[in-house]
Amino acid sequence: MGRGHMPTGRRERAKQAKRERIMTAARELFAEHGVSGVTTQQIAHRADVAIGTLYLYASTKAELLIMVQNEKFAAAIDIGLAAANAAAGQGALEPVVALIRPVVECVREHIENGRTYLHELVFGDPAEPYRQAGLALAGRLEDGITGLLTRDEYIGAADAATLARVITAIIHISTTATVYLHHSDEVVLADIRDQIHATLAPHHRAAMG
């Protein structure tokens, strides 16, 4: 092996270490200042990498935010699914609320970052890899809600999938709309719960009518 050539294993470990430093720097700076108050140069400086190196991992600040938020979103979904399973047997509403609670808290942990993240997922290039990963997580959340709704004897499989899309839209609006910005998580969650209850109620009334 000629000089200057790093073995593949070591090269991959070095790349992974740089990625982790960049992720840590981005996570810290976004938490401290919000996405609008941070530059890619600041992230590169804190990660101790050249700006050109940073762009090999994420070409824009938005992509860096998505990388960071995807990790938080994935963890929130895992926690929510576990909570929903623990609430099994309480009808459809309570398990769904248990699932979405950590997701709402995740998005609202830093309002600006959460709003920007959801905006980027909805309106950004869906072919970009980090957005693809984020959209896959959104699909996982929707599938989780669908699965919980299908446990309700009054809701068919097709309706469950449609209702899950409605519920995810409720979550999106309630966690990003300006009118909700200064409300506490508990107030927002209570409002979301009321909206979900109203959404599911007609199916129960129709089945029992």
pLDDT in tens, 9-51: 888 888 899 999 999 999 999 999 999 999 999 999 999 999 9
Please say if the pLDDT value at position 2 is more than 60: no
DSSP structural state of residue 109: S
Q: What is the pLDDT of residue 205?
A: 59
1 pLDDT band, cuts 50/70/90, is very low
Alpha-carbon distances, residue 93 vs 120, 137, 152, 187 (angstroms): 29, 21, 9, 17
70 has pLDDT over 90:
yes
Q: What is the mean pLDDT of the chain?
A: 92
Query: Distance of alpha carbon 192 from its chain centroid, rounded?
Result: 17
**pTM attached to this predicted model:** 0.89
Q: Residue 209 pLDDT more than 80?
A: no
Distance of CA 109 to the CA centre of its chain: 11
pLDDT tens figures, 142-162: 999 999 999 988 898 999 999
Evaluate if residue 81 carries a pLDDT over 50: yes
**Can you give the pLDDT at residue 140?**
98
CA distance 185 to 75: 18
Check whether 78 has a pLDDT greater than 60. yes
How much is the pLDDT for 24?
97
pLDDT value at residue 8 = 67
State the Cα–Cα distance between residues 28 and 139, nearest whole angstrom: 27
